[in-house]
Amino acid sequence: MIAKVLQPMCPALLLVGTLCVGVPGRAQTPETVVAGFEQRVDAVFRADAGKPLKREKKKPPLAPGRGNYVRAYSFSIVEFAARCFYLDEMLDEANAALAENAQHYLDNPKDINDRDSFHWHADIVMRLIEMYGTNGTKHAGRLTPETEELCLQPIWEYARKCSWLGKAEYKKSKTWDIYGSENHHAMDFTVSWHFAKIAKDRPEYKERKFEDGATVAEHYRAWNDYFVVYCLERARKGPCVEMMCPSYNSVWLKGFYNFYDFGDERVRHSAGMLIDLYFAYWAQEQTGGVTGGGKSRVRRVNGFTPTQHGISSLAALYFGIGDLPEALLGNLNAALSDYRPPAVVADIAISARNDGPYEVLQRAQGLGVQRKTHHTASGVKQPSTLRTDGGGILRYSYCDPAFIMGTLMTEARPSEDWVSISTQARWQGVIFGGKPSTRIVPIVIEAKKGRDVLNGQWSVQSKGSLLTQKLKYNKGGGKMIVWMPREGLAAPVQEDDVVFVETEGAYAAIRVVGSKFRIVEDSLTTRSAEGSTRTAPPGTMVIPMDDFAPVVVEVVAKDKVKDFDEFKHGVKACTVTMKGVVVVCETIYGDLLTLDTSYREAPTINGKSVDYAPPNVLESPFLNAEYNSGVVTIRKGKRSKVLDFN
């Protein structure tokens, strides 16, 4: 039986080095790769040298009563200005553009407070002031005093309304009170902290008081203390609630570079460790700069294609993985920062998966009380509160040189038990090495276009075998499907009750338990909250007739089996049965998985219940930390770094 071939693979096959995906120039050392950051950033800026400002359009409000939707417009302004200041060209035009942007917000005060426009770029404006303004740390005077003064005016209007000392409370909340979503909350307090930092020493602002009656100096001290604890808590209980989301995670991170470059020593130290932690966390679960493993907030058809911006852009800049971005946008802070990843993190990023297969586990936060959000940044008065005694989630990924399979193993709970940023658009599945657009995604799709699915599915996984089911507790869920692109996969072949597919480096099998299914070739189209539509690449879907029928996906690298026929024979020899309400699944890896479709019992792996609260918050060959310790060890080969957030 094929399982006997596969059982010794975990320790024995660390020598496997096939499909060295995303490893540019294998002769380069991690230190050399990191040292190339400046050259790569310079190349991005110089690609547009001499080009005039190309303004993005100002768009109307996303809903009645809201401010204009001008995020893209402002990003186009600040990116142009940053490029001009960096290259020392068209300085008059750069100053005029920043002044124009500031004046727009002063003329349209609703836009300052709208959550989808202003705080997305205001942190970048303050970085440009810090680096190129009157007292600039890089090239003082490229940004004129007049422009500087005008730029700070709308930021003051934002901060005085949106920052209050109660929001910076951390002794009771331990910083797990989230105003809005995780990335919005981070952008909000980053802008508030940075404005207070700049304003406390400026005569025109230092005596002013925020709407809560406190001074800018008091706000600055409060946010300093808050941020240090914020970083400590992410080391203690897990980095992100918006788990491994490549777009939102880059937005969450972007303001932390300002803490690193412009904060006092303890703030700078905490920020540097948190960024180190994030990139180590990311590096071990990616292929070609594309993030694998279970995720949240990967919305609608976005999970069917690789994200080419956000964290993937940073992968290109830091580690030379993938193509350089055409635009930096929200990654401008990172591009202009003095922060560099440590060599051990670069080593993980460029070569960890060559050491596979290996397992990655993370204890993640998600349980809590969801409060109503608001379209204004100041309108969220009651935060969503995350529980600090346990998150109810075990992220699990299996990383082989040929593929990464991962899921969020979650307790089967009603949606009301979770904070929505944890349950929104949860993603699970397989991405394949060599071409990460090739993937298999078992997921509950939305019942109505433009509406996200909350709490869609639950699962159990061991190695390259995943057993999953649609949850009856979902909100907004439609059909349960298994989606695959046509490109990169051979045509699916159905044999009995199993669908087999082949990729360049792996074989896969899909089973639907206790239900007939259809195989459909179609393209899915969804509509975003901003009104734009997005269509997935042409694909194939396996669609169970019974939405709640459990689904099994198994993947094995080609170098672990003789051929496709041996893989098929091994899958067919594994029994998948229903014992009452419990699915019992023998896997091709020789494991035994169970899933209780009545939700009464936790899933099991080889007779042991899934532990949603293990002793380690992070556990892998490269990244380890005990839950609540605040001490993280990053290690690869002879390189290591200990992050002690305490």
- Confidence tier at 309 by pLDDT (50, 70, 90): confident
Contact 276, 634 (CB under 8 A): yes
Has residue 10 got a pLDDT over 60?
Answer: no
Contact 521, 508 (CB under 8 A): no
Say if residue 172 is exposed, middle or buried (CB neighbours under 10 Å; 0-12, 13-18, 19+): exposed
Mean pLDDT calculated for residue range 274-284 = 98
Give the separation between CA 354 and CA 311, rounded to whole angstroms.
21
3-class secondary structure, 521: strand
- Bridge-partner residues for 533, per DSSP? 527
Q: What tokens does 103 get? A: 């004046």
The secondary structure element, H or E, covering residue 639 is strand 639-644
Percentage of the chain modeled with pLDDT above 70:
95
Mean pLDDT calculated for residue range 624-628 = 98
pLDDT in tens, 494-527: 999 999 999 999 999 999 999 999 999 977 776 6
The pLDDT score that the predictor gives to residue 23 is 39
Can you list the alpha helix ranges (DSSP code H) found in 22-90? 30-35, 37-46, 71-87
Average per-residue pLDDT for the chain: 93
Instruction: Please identify which residue in the block is written with the tokens 């007739």.
Output: 545
The secondary structure element, H or E, covering residue 408 is strand 403-410
Instruction: Please identify which residue in the block is written with the tokens 């072949």.
Output: 493
40 phi, psi to nearest 5 deg: -70, -40
At 639, the amino acid letter reads R
- Confidence tier at 21 by pLDDT (50, 70, 90): very low
Give the CA dihedral 303, 306, 308, 312, nearest 10 degrees: 100
Q: What tokens does 426 get? A: 């949860």
- Is residue 357 reached through a cis peptide bond, with omega within 30 degrees of 0 on the bond before it? yes
Residue 256: name the closest of 238, 239, 240, 270 by CA: 270
The pLDDT score that the predictor gives to residue 42 is 98
Percentage of the chain modeled with pLDDT above 90:
88
Can you list the alpha helix ranges (DSSP code H) found in 305-387? 311-319, 332-336, 343-351
pLDDT in tens, 137-155: 999 999 999 999 999 999 9
Mean pLDDT calculated for residue range 334-362 = 96
Instruction: Please identify which residue in the block is written with the tokens 């040292």.
Output: 35
**Better pLDDT: 179 or 532:** 179
Can you list the alpha helix ranges (DSSP code H) found in 63-144? 71-87, 91-107, 109-113, 122-132
The secondary structure element, H or E, covering residue 401 is none
Q: How far is the first Cα of the chain from the last one, in angstroms, to the nearest whole number?
A: 50
Contacts of 325 (CB under 8 A, 6+ apart): 44, 308, 309, 313, 316, 317, 331
The CB-side HSE value for 59 (13 A sphere, CA atoms) comes to: 16
Hey, how many other C-beta atoms are within 10 angstroms of the C-beta on 374? 15
pLDDT in tens, 176-228: 999 999 999 999 999 999 999 999 999 999 999 999 999 999 999 999 999 99
Mean pLDDT calculated for residue range 2-14 = 37
3-class secondary structure, 442: strand
Has residue 8 got a pLDDT over 70?
Answer: no
- Confidence tier at 16 by pLDDT (50, 70, 90): very low
Contact 347, 637 (CB under 8 A): yes
3-class secondary structure, 569: helix
Instruction: Please identify which residue in the block is written with the tokens 């992410």.
Output: 234
pLDDT in tens, 216-230: 999 999 999 999 999
104 phi, psi to nearest 5 deg: -55, -45
The pLDDT score that the predictor gives to residue 129 is 98
Instruction: Please identify which residue in the block is written with the tokens 């939707």.
Output: 69
